[in-house]
Chain A
Amino acid sequence: MSAFKTPSRRRVRSEVKTPLTPSLASALNGVTLDSPVKRSSSSIPVTDAFQRQASSGVIRKGGVESRIDVVVLDYVPPPISKPAEVKRSRSTPAIKNVADRDRFITSREHNLETLDPMALNTKSASPGHTARLVEATGVPLNRRILGYHLPPPTASSDTTLALQREFARPLYANRPGSLATSTGSTTNKTRKISTQPERVLDAPGLVDDFYLNLVSWSSLNCVAVSLDTSTYIWKADTGAVVQMGEAPSGTYVSSVNFSADGAFLGIGLGTGEVELWDVERGVKLRTMAGHQAQIAVLSWYSHLLSSGCGDGSVWHHDVRVPRHKVMELLGHNGEVCGLQWRKDGELIASGGNDNVVNIWDGRVGDTPVGGDTVATGNAKWTKRNHTAAVKALAWSPWQPNLLASGGGTNDATINVWNSTTGARLHTVTTPSQITSLHFSPHKKELLSTHGYPTNAIGVWSYPSLEKVAEIRDAHDSRVLYSAISPGGDMVVTGAGDESLKFWRIWDTTSETKKTKTARLEGATRSGVLSLR
């Protein structure tokens, strides 16, 4: 402690007499700068002599230094340094004593003043510097300062990990506007919708596959749902469940769709066949074969049943004639998973796994006479704005030229198109994959269902495309299938959590609401019903 420190003080004083202090050097510099003439005449010999003197430690009188006369002026040992030194050395071991320490800190300020010139000495290894550091840190010198021999590890900046995180980001994306503790329902001020389903139906075996379309709701108020190999009709009016037969062994149902009048049900199979069923009698009318891959989507217009196939083709089947395939639409490189006829049959929109949206003329061309060839159509518009598979397609019921399309996980964007001009009218980006879209029949609103991470049902106003309401975590897993009720107030959603949920999204007039609730009270207050 003091044995260590005192020499440092001595050295400070001794430096006053030695010529090599930094202050002297700087003073010398100042002189040479002040009189450049003198320097030019005698710079080399003076420096030489100076160095010799310096190395010998003796300064001759009459040398440059004495002429400069700065040595004495620079380093005057301050009178207060001595008592301060005494205090310091005494206080060092007594660190435990708070009073001593306080005095020690006060005296430090004195010391700092006097020792300030020492800061010029950049050789930090000198004891004087150490002493100063000791003061600055308030640590006595009889201690050892130890550090671990290894440097701390650098922050992990694994590039592959960063890349993986980037890829996984859509799945773990922040749920905007949600608190960590939120149960997951946010509703806009402007309108409140019930975040609880009106009814839950158990749907064991409902396939969790984005590309399929397994739920349909007919104009006769029947809901068709396919559970792996079997299709069931749930009659919303009575709550009765009817099975619509099984898919042939070795395959599964990949799509269902009701005809506009609700009397017929088209069922697409994994092997490429399209079956036609009579809903009322529950019998299969015919099987229309020809496709070589899974039928992921079906859409009806009048007597035409159109099927979207895994090979990227869309066929129009005329269900009335034996040779059912009347037209072929070739415009996708990937599986067609979205297909929607416009109500008037003028246009049909298709979306595929190749991220393309096509809008086709709905008129069926004349079938060439003879042979197996059929008329082929050309896309009226081809839209490549989406960056993921397009499954969600919806035509507006109140403005015929509006088509909404929604992309998958990497896209998660809803685009609204004008089918007449081909213009993209609106775009809104959502937090998650869009699995289906519906326009409300009665309101200027758009409904979307979403996959990870929100598993939400969203309602958007049109044309502003502002979020009107949202039901977060509508299902336990991604919401995949949805259908809108004939009344236009209810929406049924199906998801990989093997349940169907019925939501009241749009309240129609209070009258119909009353009757609806009454009907629900009568039929299904029993809670969860099983379809099987």
Chain B
Amino acid sequence: MPPTKQTTRQAITLKGSTALVTEFFKYAVNTILFQREVYPSDDFHMVKKYGQVVLVTQDLALENYLEKILKQVQKWILTGSVTQLVLVILAKETRTALERWVFDIKLVEPVGGEPGESSSKPETEIQSEIRAILKQIVSMVTFLPVMQEEKVFNILAYTSDSADVPVGEWIDTDPLAIEAGKSQQVKLRSFSTDIHRIEAMVAYRYEE
């Protein structure tokens, strides 16, 4: 009896952690889209989240688009088949990548081991870590290069070969990388739940 109980508890934690991570992506993506002015600022409204104000789009089309993507990402996180999520900001005309916001998704605790022993992290602590990342994203605006041109964005998911991919919805794509010689990278903070660890990084085009 106890083992089954523990596995159910674990399943719930995995689900909870996945939901938490997915939710973080939603707000992180919204924050980036707002801060980097990919969409006009009056499309966004303020929402209280993680004990602070976060700007979330009210553009219905964009909302649905992100929701569809995140729904699939959530499935992948649940099965552990996604390792990285990248938000690429491209110049609309030339399709060159200007910024890549990279979120590494890592499993903290491989399945097995001693599940009951892991010290569970209080949610407030996780939230404060998330808050720190979002604040860092906001503060990045101060030194990231100004992007004059029209911008579009693209979300890439780096999955394992074995990942279930809905046919026709997700397609293999170019990594939309920035040429190594013209790229600068900044590592952001990270946060972790009991299951997942998210490490954030931004690479941006920088030409002297």
- Which A residues fall within an 8 A CB radius of B? 95-96, 108, 112, 119, 132-137, 139, 142-156
Q: Which residues of A contact B153 (CB under 8 A)?
A: 152
Residue in A closest to B110 when the chains form the complex, CB atoms: A96
B168 touches A146 (CB 8 A): no
Query: Does residue B83 face the partner (Cβ distance < 8 Å to A)?
Result: yes
A155 touches B43 (CB 8 A): yes
User: Which residues of B (126-164) have their CB < 8 Å from a CB of A?
Assistant: 152-161, 163
Query: Does residue B14 face the partner (Cβ distance < 8 Å to A)?
Result: no
Contact with A along B101-138 (1 / 0, CB 8 A): 01000100000000000000000000000000000000
A147 touches B170 (CB 8 A): yes
Residue in B closest to A95 when the chains form the complex, CB atoms: B83
Q: What is the bound-complex CA distance between A151 and B154, given in angstroms?
A: 7
A139 touches B170 (CB 8 A): no
A153 touches B61 (CB 8 A): yes
Checking B161, B171, B175 against A142 with a beta-carbon cut-off of 8 angstroms, the contacting residue is B161
Most chain B C-beta atoms within 10 Å of own C-beta, residue among A96, A143, A147: A147
A144 touches B180 (CB 8 A): no
Query: Does residue B27 face the partner (Cβ distance < 8 Å to A)?
Result: no
Residue in B closest to A153 when the chains form the complex, CB atoms: B61
Q: What is the bound-complex CA distance between A155 and B151, given in angstroms?
A: 10
State how many angstroms separate the Cβ of A19 from the closest Cβ of chain B: 27
State how many angstroms separate the Cβ of B93 from the closest Cβ of chain A: 14
Q: What is the bound-complex CA distance between A274 and B33, given in angstroms?
A: 63
User: Which residues of B (177-206) have their CB < 8 Å from a CB of A?
Assistant: 177-181, 183
Q: What is the bound-complex CA distance between A360 and B205, given in angstroms?
A: 69
State how many angstroms separate the Cβ of A460 from the closest Cβ of chain B: 32
Q: Which residues of B contact A155 (CB under 8 A)?
A: 39-40, 43, 59
Sample of 14 more A-B contacts, CB < 8 Å, known A144-B172, A151-B154, A153-B59: A95-B83, A108-B180, A132-B180, A136-B180, A136-B183, A137-B177, A146-B157, A146-B173, A147-B171, A150-B65, A151-B152, A153-B62, A153-B65, A155-B59
Q: Which residues of A contact B65 (CB under 8 A)?
A: 148, 150, 152-153
A144 touches B154 (CB 8 A): no
Q: Which residues of B contact A137 (CB under 8 A)?
A: 100, 102, 175, 177
9 tightest CB-CB pairs across the interface, nearest first?
A153-B61, A147-B173, A136-B180, A146-B170, A133-B177, A146-B157, A143-B158, A155-B39, A137-B177
Jot down 28 A-B pairs with beta carbons below 8 A, ordered by A.
A96-B106, A112-B180, A133-B175, A134-B175, A136-B178, A136-B183, A137-B100, A137-B102, A137-B177, A139-B158, A143-B159, A143-B160, A144-B158, A144-B159, A145-B172, A145-B174, A146-B157, A146-B159, A146-B172, A147-B155, A147-B156, A147-B170, A148-B68, A152-B65, A152-B155, A153-B62, A155-B39, A156-B61
B160 touches A145 (CB 8 A): no
Q: What is the bound-complex CA distance between A154 and B177, given in angstroms?
A: 22
A144 touches B160 (CB 8 A): yes
Q: Which residues of B contact A154 (CB under 8 A)?
A: 152
Query: Does residue B84 face the partner (Cβ distance < 8 Å to A)?
Result: yes
B158 touches A145 (CB 8 A): yes
A142 touches B152 (CB 8 A): no
B171 touches A146 (CB 8 A): yes
A144 touches B163 (CB 8 A): yes
Contact A147:B154 (CB < 8 A) given known A142-B160, A153-B65 = yes
Query: Does residue B207 face the partner (Cβ distance < 8 Å to A)?
Result: no
Q: What is the bound-complex CA distance between A154 and B40, given in angstroms?
A: 10
Q: What is the bound-complex CA distance between A135 and B156, given in angstroms?
A: 17
A143 touches B179 (CB 8 A): no
State how many angstroms separate the Cβ of B166 from the closest Cβ of chain A: 9
State how many angstroms separate the Cβ of A413 from the closest Cβ of chain B: 27
Q: Which residues of A contact B183 (CB under 8 A)?
A: 136
A152 touches B170 (CB 8 A): no
State how many angstroms separate the Cβ of B130 from the closest Cβ of chain A: 22
B62 touches A152 (CB 8 A): yes
Q: Which residues of A contact B159 (CB under 8 A)?
A: 143-144, 146
Residue in A closest to B68 when the chains form the complex, CB atoms: A148
Q: What is the bound-complex CA distance between A143 and B106, given in angstroms?
A: 14
